[in-house]
Amino acid sequence: MQATQKQKSRTLSAVSKWISKASTAAIAFLLGIGLALAPAQALESIRAAIGPIEFSGEMSEIEAFVEEGELSTGLVWLERFTDSETVEGLRVLLQTPIELDATVVAKLTYSSLGENFLQRLGKIIRTEAGQNGFYAMRAALILAADAPEDLTLLSILQHVPVESIRIDMEATIALVRDFLAQQDTKADALEAIARQAEYEGAATGDRFNFALSSDLRQPGPYPVTVQSLMLSDATRSGPVNPMVRQFSVDLYLPQGLSQAAPVVIISHGLGAEAAEFAVLAEHLASYGFAVAAPDHVGSDAAIFEEIIAGNYFGRLDASEFSDRPQDVTFLLDELERRARTGGPLSGQISLERVGIIGHSFGGYTGLVLASGEINHAKLDSTCTEEDPFLNLSLFLQCQAVALPPSIESLKDPRIGAVLALNPIPSTLLGQASLSQIDVPVMIVQSSEDILAPIVPEQIEPFNWLTTPQKYLVTLSPAGHGSANQTELLEENLANSLLTGPNTFLGSVYTRSLSVAFMQRHISNQSRYEPYLTAAYGAYLSQEPLQVSVITDSVAALTDQD
């Protein structure tokens, strides 16, 4: 079926926005697409192979194509093997600015993730001698970023330091078509979510007046104290001390409660730290929750700083996929011990039913604690492919392939509710594991997330959930870290590249919904039920960031299954 003009316009607009917020790996992917199209000033020619047939192109023809939108005689062969939408999509890709400076680009392209992606693309984009094009692509990206003109894919091509390159055009066209199709699928899903939110909101909107009720955006009534714990698990090794796994925990305790406080755990993402969630933790504690935020050594801020500095060239230890949930279980065991009669937390906390909030890798951590099983079959079937991934989170997820299949269940029966922010469960857990979760789950997604794309990582997993109490929250327009705004994030260059827009409002929305979700499903207070509806999402929303809440599966994807 031919794409409508609306779909074409929508897709190309999405492509342009996507590039402008691109991460390192995303830039590498687009670099490959651009190189597949054209040579640049340092390139005298390219050879594009389609099966046994080879075609060539010249730089002047490529520049005319980008500037005028017309294919010259020397490039008209491209239309024979693709369609006008794909050709125009490639033109948009070549000329859209990429907002990264030279220092950041240089460091990121020497990171483990960047090198991995460039090596994969180098199998498609080769030198004239047939060698992997890794070094030429990396050099071109760094040189172009340091040039005075805007960084675009075309400017990157103009700095490729070889005379000729060879391109597998069949593989490149397939990648571009997949990318454009995914953009359309995402747009369709977002439209379906908006319609569903409108429908659900109309059914509940007149039943509750939020303006006259508790404002969950404001702090709760309880003052909060913070203490730091250092825990040592002698049954597991750690990256610092091979004899014991040691990790710190920030514990936020509400003061003045008449009974023990229920516990909420916050699990940070890869390369992050517990301190980044201090605002959220203190907000929850002010509503009567004891909040414990551990630092997961081995996948915390220390490793990300090494990656950004270009000093980390290895892979994440696969044990982190089991160590993270085991950190939480060990933490809960330790809190239980300290809460016993006579203990330092006696009478202050209750672990009868525990909530967990996790971001990205931490979202997986919370979900696996509720499901129990890593999906080894799904990992094996997904992670054997050699083609570059359009879903960048698979670079992380697929490192779990090295885990032994015999690993014990990671489920912790104390977990009573999971709030997953931008989680990455599609392959680590898949439908088989997610469908086993029987506690309430809220998934929060960001429309412009280029690290954990919403369709495979949040919308499809939401549809797979069979628990009767599930919620899908959509922030738009927002990026991978838009729900986590803190002053610390604003000061961190690496985080500022990945967070996406509108982090302040995203943080406000997340705090409000976190309180409602935990009060309803951990504290069992039914009066918070109205705050978990489409009507509350509509009430919260303000420019420039919209938030929607739905409780039913996304029909646009259900219809395709």
Q: What is the pLDDT of residues 218-231, one digit of tens each?
A: 999 999 999 999 99
Q: Which secondary structure element, helix H or strand E, spans residue 521, and what is its range?
A: helix 503-521
What pLDDT was estimated at residue 305?
A: 66
CA-CA distance, 550 to 197, in Å (whole number)?
6
| One-letter-per-residue 3-state SS of 70-96 | CCCCCCCHHHHCCCHHHHHHHHHHHHC
pLDDT score at 321: 96
Phi, psi angles (nearest 5°) of residue 391? -95, 100
What's at 219, amino acid-wise? Answer: P
Spatial contact of 294 and 248, defined as CB atoms under 8 Å apart: yes
Where are the alpha helices (H) located in 286-319, listed in sequence order? 301-308
Q: Pull the structure tokens for residue 140.
A: 């071109």
pLDDT digits (tens, 9 = 90+) for 101-133: 666 677 667 766 677 677 777 777 788 777 888
pLDDT at 506 over 50: yes
User: Which SS3 state, helix, strand or coil, does residue 349 take?
Assistant: strand
How far is 129 from 401, CA to CA, in rounded Å? 34
Compute the distance between CA of residue 25 and CA of residue 392 in angstroms, rounded to an integer: 7
Percentages helix, strand, coil for the chain (3-state, rounded to 5) are: 45, 15, 35
Residues 6+ apart with CB under 8 A from 381: none
**No. of H helices and E strands in the chain?**
24, 13
DSSP state of 240: S
pLDDT cut 90: percent of the chain above it = 47
Find tokens 């342009």 and name the residue. Answer: 16
Average pLDDT for 508-529: 97
pLDDT at 315: 63
366-424 pLDDT, tens digit per residue, is 999 999 999 999 999 998 765 556 788 998 899 899 998 888 899 999 999 999 999 99
pLDDT value at 531 more than 50:
yes
Quote the distance between the C-alpha of residue 214 and its chain's center.
32
- CA-closest candidate to residue 250, choices 296, 300, 297, 295: 295
Cα dihedral 279/282/288/289 (nearest 10)? 80
Helices marked H in 210-360? 278-285, 301-308, 320-339
Digit-coded pLDDT (tens) for 234-243: 999 887 778 8
Place of tokens 């050099």: 139
